[in-house]
Amino acid sequence: MSALAAAPVVLASASAVRAALLEQAGVSVRRDPAGIDEDEVKASFRGEGLDAASCATALAEAKAARVSQRHADALVIGADQMLVLGARWFDKPRDLADARAQLQALRDQRHELVTAAAVARNGAVIWRLVDRPALIMRGFSDAFLDAYLAAVGDEALGVVGAYRLEGLGVQLFARIEGDYFSILGLPLLPLLEFLRGHGVVGR
């Protein structure tokens, strides 16, 4: 442990980006993916006409609660993120053709990244938060789009919207509105404040 971190946490995710955000902030992290069927949960929420924020929150809570049952007394962080354009929810692209279609739909538009986080202990959720940063894509050319996809390759398939803002994807955007850490996948500042209150990081 560092002088800033007093106890480790468990991240109910395989996400290297979320783990890095916590570790770079001085929090010791162990990753333990939850294995939730996200497609099934999303289909259920869509079928019931519920909004993306409710779905993302439910997924974050389910991940945290499930994994916390495997780690007695540990604080377990679950997170989920959904890309929303109007009434449409985007999933990770199936292939590069789907990635191209997603980026064409997002081009010159404002979309939201609904980002939810939850913390559980011993199977019970004890904290939750949802943030809705927005991103405005610029009107890039088809030639630029093709060059971008050629440069990032299959990396585009690992993220909803086919971009990583911390990489070449930043060139797709005109501006962002809201918290940068939430865009990367974790509302880090309010989460750190919660962890301070539970002795994980120093005050």
Helix (H) or strand (E) holding 149: helix 142-152
SS3 89: strand
User: In residues, how long is the chain?
Assistant: 203
**Angle (deg, nearest 10), helices 142-152 and 96-106:** 140
For the beta carbon of residue 36, count every other beta carbon within 10 angstroms.
18
Active-site entry in 80, 91, 154, 179: 80
- Report how far residue 183's alpha carbon sits from residue 163's, in angstroms, rounded to the nearest whole number: 11
Catalytic site includes residue 108: no
Residues tagged active-site = 80
